[in-house]
Amino acid sequence: MDRIALKVNKFYERYPYPSLPIKTERDLISKLHANVMGKILATAGLTTAELSGKDILDAGCGTGEKASYFSYHGAHVTAFDLCSASLVKAKELAEKFKLHVDFSLCDMAEFRTEKRFDHVFCLGALHHTEKPYDNFLALEKLCKPGGTITVGLYNRYGRLGHRAVRTWIGLRAGEDFGKRMEYVENKIYGRKMRSVHEVAYVADKYVHPHESYHTVEEVMGWFEKNGFTYIGAHPKTDAGTRAFLTQLKWMVKGNGFFVMSGRK
Ligand SMILES: C[S@@+](CC[C@H](N)C(=O)[O-])C[C@H]1O[C@@H](n2cnc3c(N)ncnc32)[C@H](O)[C@@H]1O
């Protein structure tokens, strides 16, 4: 594990993400997830009906809600994460709904498999690694020809305001996770966090030790250099100058996270 992965591992062992409160099947497939999952799938031109029988990789699966969601819809799912506390939760969730997911504990930089996948998802994980593009390269190689890759990343423009807040928290509370969380509770929220999910969400946003920032043009470049055709994005965006203008809008609205898909 490199220096960043060590820090990131320590963080997620304490705050496994997203730790959604999924109690019923409805929570898994509709209430908590349907909206966001529908939008993520749409970026790759997919609907839930098309997942059945497909080989899916979820790289940096966290607490496994998305992996279980894919499995519920009939996909053969392989999922890995750097953090064992997240995987304990991910496995519990899959078992609860009698779903099969091939989970493993692994650093993305070291993940190897002979398998090839119809759809590779890496949501919210690359920007917590030391070399996001190198990891993208390793993942894109695991796509079958005609398969898709979907990446979710922090946006350089959309996350600008938030970066200022993170810097301020760093200046006031330092690097210690507990101290940062206490600062956020006292000074930003003015109260204690109310649930495990809220702790996970807020820690991910304000306490995280490492994040990098990316642009639509950059990911378009990743796709082009590696023979992928751009399919779609959420929030929606075009290529070229219009992508820049779209990202300026994201900056104003504070849209810090974007998802893009490409086809091999
Ligand atoms: C923000 S969470 C996203 C979880 C999940 N993909 C989701 O969308 O709900 C980021 C996840 O990436 C994982 N991660 C970060 N760096 C990693 C690495 N080098 N190898 C594998 N997983 C990593 C973390 O452990 C964490 O679970």
124 Cα: distance to centroid of ligand 1 (angstroms): 6
- Mean pLDDT per segment of 10 residues, for the chain of length 264 residues? 96 97 91 82 96 98 97 97 98 97 97 97 98 98 98 97 94 96 96 95 96 97 97 91 93 96 98
What is the domain partition of the chain in residue ranges? 3-158+212-263, 160-206
Residue 45 in contact with residue 232, Cβ under 8 Å? yes
12 lines ligand 1 (CB under 6 A): yes
Strands 76-81 and 101-105: parallel
What is the C-alpha separation between 118 and 2, in angstroms, rounded? 29
43 lines ligand 1 (CB under 6 A): no
- For 3-158+212-263, CATH number? 3.40.50.150
pLDDT at position 34: 67
Packed helices 132-140 and 216-225: angle between N→C axes, nearest 10 degrees? 40
| Gyration radius (Cα) of the chain, Å | 18
107 lines ligand 1 (CB under 6 A): yes
pLDDT at position 32: 66
62 lines ligand 1 (CB under 6 A): yes
Q: Whose CA is nearest to atom 13 of ligand 1?
A: 60
108 lines ligand 1 (CB under 6 A): yes
17 Cα: distance to centroid of ligand 1 (angstroms): 8
Closest C-alpha among 106, 123, 126, 13 to residue 70:
123
Pocket test for ligand 1, best of 37, 78, 128 (most atoms within 8 A of CB): 128
181 Cα: distance to centroid of ligand 1 (angstroms): 20
pLDDT at position 115: 97
Q: Looking at the DSSP assignment, which residues form a beta bridge with residue 262?
A: 149, 230
